[in-house]
Amino acid sequence: MRKIRKVTTGSGTYFVYDLVVDSSGKRKRVYGKSIDEVKKKIEAAEQERKHSLSYQKPNNTNLREYIMFYFKSVVGTIHATRLNRLINIVDNAVSRTPLNRDVQSITREEIAEFYVKLSHKYSFKDVIDIIDVLRKTFALAAESGLEVVDISDIASPQKEDVIPYASGYIMAEKELVQLRNYCIQENCVMYGINELVLIFCLFTGLRFQKAKTIHSYDVNLEKKIIVVDDKPFPLTEECCQWLEQMRESKILEMPSAQECTDSSIGITRYTNLLFVNKLGNSPTVNSLKGTLTAITNRLGMPLGIISKTIHQAVIISELEKGVSEKELAKRYGYKTERAISNIRAAYILQNKFL
């Protein structure tokens, strides 16, 4: 139990007390010239804290709302870059799970099971960070008057138990859009041509190796297609708008929609590969993998997001939009529809497992 301490220095004597460590991990300390003065300050600080909690707490008891409540309480105590990454990683980990409901209805058994699933989806460091935020969130919920279980003593996975999902992680539509929008909003200032290739693959579902082979004359914004292996490949309206912006900004060189009406212009003027740097070199697949890893890590996304699983995630997204397995098999060059069925089955199995 903490006690009021007497401190004597060259300038005199005073009393000090360490308040209870709050859910943000920030220590608060009060000082006074007498014990009575310190006690009054302790009482005032406790009343202020309770008032602050009752004023700021969410309108509903959903777990995600209380996680965001916790993050609001730690603004200024955690470096902004780390805080943003924590928000992303915890939101990604929790928002699409059965735990994202009334925090008062969540059991210790569910939390323990959730920890096991985390160990197959994230790195050991990320698992520990997510668990730490959950513990502090539950403590904050209890402190604000909710009847929640105590999860502080539920064992965390050990390092040797953290084994990411072996087959790679297939993103859900929300994660696919999150990753794509982040790359677009970041405006490719950090990763340059690599990020452009990544955005293109996130729109189309093409593998890195295939995207690298696209020439400028393969793009037809008028017909909203690109030519892949001598076959037309449909582009979404969003993808065409992005490509048009890149063309107008002179970031990528390709025919305009008007020029596409004259095929000879494309052949004579746009003969280079679409994705090349200032020296005319195409990025290597290994450098593209490194860029993808760096960005997903920055966003706090699960491990196992690779070119193959981006391809699979786009296929899942198209299936959910109503595109047939037959059409997707033809689009991506699969011999039979079974390949698309297998991707759907792998995604369903992943969600059961994770």
Other Cβ atoms closer than 10 A to 287: 15
> Rounded distance, CA 266 to CA 274, Å?
12
Task: Give the whole-angstrom CA distance, residue 48 versus residue 228.
Answer: 64
Question: What pTM did the predictor assign?
Answer: 0.69
pLDDT at 304: 84
Exposure of 103 by Cβ count < 10 A (0-12 exposed, 13-18 middle, 19+ buried)? buried
pLDDT reported for residue 211: 95
Reported as type and span, the H/E element at residue 104 is none
Contacts 24+ apart (CB under 8 A), 51-59: 53/140, 53/143, 53/144, 53/145, 54/144, 54/145, 57/144, 57/145
Can you give the pLDDT at residue 266? 47
Give CA angle at 191 (189, 196), nearest 5°. 90
CA atoms within 13 A on the CB side of 195: 19
Residues of the chain by 3-state class (helix, strand, coil), percent to 5: 55, 10, 35
Residue type, 118: L
What pLDDT is stored for residue 51 in this prediction? 63
The mean pLDDT values, 10 residues at a time, for the chain of 354 residues are: 75 77 58 85 73 70 91 76 88 88 96 91 90 94 90 91 74 91 75 91 96 91 91 94 91 77 54 85 92 89 89 96 95 94 90 72
Question: In residues, how long is the chain?
Answer: 354
Give pLDDT, residue 212: 93
Measured CA distances, 31 to 9, 11, 48, 174, 339 (Å):
14, 15, 16, 49, 69
